[in-house]
Chain A
Amino acid sequence: MSHLLTISLVISALHLALPILMPMLGGLISERSGVMNIGLEGMMLIGAFSAVLVTYFTGSPWLGLVGALCSGVLSGSALALMTVTLRGDQVVASAAINLIGAGLTAALIPVIWDIDGLTPSVAKIPSIHVPFLEDLPAVGRIFRSLSLVDYICFALVFLVWWVLFRTDAGLRIRACGESAESADVAGIAVVRTRFFAVVSSGVFGALGGAYLSIVTLDMFQASMTQGRGFLALAAMVFGKWRVWPGALACIAFGFADAIALRAQILWRGIPHELLIALPYVLALFALATFVGRASGPAGVGKPFTRA
């Protein structure tokens, strides 16, 4: 076991957890405002693709990151327009975002690069040097592997918690999610609040996608998110729509994945199909037993119309 539980396992788990953690925050904000967003997978793909596209043409991964965030504003606005402004069915609308995200990105690769399936390598966001922290014994290695984007992601977890649960704006968002009618009577602009929340979820989804394509890797591959947008929703339910428990669930997913990958390397002949399925089996088991009944905000899924 001592070979398995090392600092590099922690690094691996962190890098696997962050692309789930960011869309989890997005889903949380959206659902807390009363809009179900199962379109995170598509928003991640669009974000990952936009990051590579802009980096490819400008040479700067930072501009690529900005491009990804802009794509998140667009995909979030599209979902908000369909569900909040036009009051369409939230499941159908966000499923459409998933289909568009997967289809459009795969179809644009040959149009832009004249090759199928995979883009060429682009510049990636470098890890940064933090004096003192990276010289620490043992854990210094963790800090050496982090980029500025990783620190931003950690800060965002705190920021989302603080805004949602410690500010007036957060209270308004949560009020819209529990009962849009009551919020409306109390003078809250429900449509505007929900629109903002859904656009934010698009930005967080896109950030998760960009993390995969230009922080972890240096390219885009069709359907490279591999269901992380849905895992994020599972983590959100796991944490019962709360920020810190949800974040812990993402980190637990990251560790389960990292252990499943590393155990194979260490012990030859260990049944790898079982190991790869382990995180999901554990999640199912936990949800069915000790996590207990998870009930989301009361107003999720209900379009708001002023009577």
Chain B
Amino acid sequence: MGSAALVALSLGASNPASAEDYIWSMVTNTAGLGDQGFNDLAKIGVEASVEKLGGKELVIQSANKSQLVPNLKQAIDSGSTVTTGVGFGIRDALTEVAIANPDAKFTLIDAVAVDKDKNPLPNVASVTFREHEAAFLSGIAAAMTTKGSRVGFIGGIETPPVVRFLSGFEAGLRYVNPDIQVSVAYVGSFTEPAKAKELALGIYDLGADLIMDVAGGGGRGIFDAAKSMGDGYWVIGVDTCKGQFAPDNFLTSAVKDVSGAVVLENTKAAEGSFEGGAVSLGLKEGAVGLCQDNIDTLSADIMAKVEAATALILDGSMTVPSNEEELKSFQPAGD
């Protein structure tokens, strides 16, 4: 009896807020909502947290970099239970605010917040994804779908996550067929669909029949190019399933479960088990993978190969390269 009362008391102490008082907040990076990526996914995570845990949501958009710090402070001043910051670009602002407010809890998506001594901050759950593992699986699907010997890759700007997608994708291609060439091109912006389309048409013109799209919102131009080419021309997306943009040309996506990560950290905070520090999520945690919406349209051969590779990655006998250096020395394991 006594111990049960004690447990109830300690739970109450670590969890002072009742469900109605929770405020699950997020601050977008400058790409904002509508990026078909982190920001939109994190918002879904915040909405799901409200549904699962109760309380209210608070979403603050940032139009430019100078608004990041004020927006994060505004979230804390509003009584935010956990404040989620999205994207590499918000890292410095979030680090500054988190050091100044050690009692506030934060989740940082896609970057790690560290103090002066490079130690991860204890009040920030810094979540990064091993997107190269998902890209590896999409590379397998690409190699087994293309009818030619060349595929394309279109990035917005050469940022670290884009490089991880490219490295994993190329390794996946090589795992199936080392002779496939990749045409890599960058648009120079994540909001330039017209140039992304011209790039895609250029790559298809060279005889490729498949392109991986890491061009952000501008990637809609790539889907439009595939649609105009017709059946047999494929696009692989990232972050989210993108079948609605060109159902007949969409092969798969290398998705990452940003919303799931947001819900997970918020749930931990509600249960009083929130701890900060660096968290890396990949295949093992079920946080990255192929798009599930149309997974049944991939052939049995592809799925068998994907499952074999997944097993090799999970048991540690194959490490997917996350940059150009690692890609050079990458040796496909297994069959």
Query: Could you list which residues of chain A lie within 8 angstroms of chain B, going by C-beta atoms?
Result: 3, 6, 8, 12, 15-16, 19, 109-110, 115-118, 121, 212, 216-219, 221-224, 226, 257-258, 261-262, 264-266, 268, 272-273, 276
Q: Given the complex of chains A and B, what is the CA–CA distance between A224 and B215 in angstroms?
A: 13
Q: Given the complex of chains A and B, what is the CA–CA distance between A223 and B194 in angstroms?
A: 12
Are B218 and A221 in contact, CB atoms less than 8 angstroms apart? yes
Shortest beta-carbon distance from A204 to chain B in Å: 18
Q: A261-B199, A265-B199 are in contact. Are A224 and B185 (CB under 8 A)?
A: no
Knowing that A110-B33, A116-B33, A217-B220 are A-B contacts, what are 10 other residue pairs whose CB atoms are under 8 Å apart, sorted by A's residue number? A15-B198, A16-B194, A117-B36, A216-B221, A217-B224, A226-B191, A257-B198, A265-B152, A266-B183, A272-B185
Are B34 and A115 in contact, CB atoms less than 8 angstroms apart? yes
In the complex, which residues of chain B have a beta carbon less than 8 angstroms from the beta carbon of A217?
193-194, 197, 220-221, 224
Shortest beta-carbon distance from A295 to chain B in Å: 32
The 3 A-B pairs of least Cβ separation, nearest first, read A117-B34, A116-B34, A116-B33
Q: Given the complex of chains A and B, what is the CA–CA distance between A272 and B152 in angstroms?
A: 15
Are A224 and B202 in contact, CB atoms less than 8 angstroms apart? no
Are A118 and B34 in contact, CB atoms less than 8 angstroms apart? yes
Are A221 and B158 in contact, CB atoms less than 8 angstroms apart? no
- With an 8 Å Cβ cutoff, the count of chain B residues facing the other chain is 35
Q: Which of B152-194 contact A (CB under 8 A)?
A: 152, 158, 182-189, 191-194
Q: Which of B183-237 contact A (CB under 8 A)?
A: 183-189, 191-195, 197-199, 201-203, 205-206, 217-218, 220-221, 224
Are B224 and A12 in contact, CB atoms less than 8 angstroms apart? no
Shortest beta-carbon distance from A100 to chain B in Å: 15
In the complex, which residues of chain B have a beta carbon less than 8 angstroms from the beta carbon of A272?
158, 185-186, 188
**What would be 20 A-B contacts, judged by CB atoms less than 8 Å apart?**
A8-B201, A117-B32, A117-B36, A117-B217, A121-B224, A121-B245, A216-B197, A216-B221, A217-B220, A218-B224, A219-B193, A221-B191, A264-B183, A264-B186, A265-B203, A265-B206, A266-B206, A268-B184, A272-B158, A276-B186
Are B184 and A222 in contact, CB atoms less than 8 angstroms apart? no
Are B193 and A224 in contact, CB atoms less than 8 angstroms apart? yes
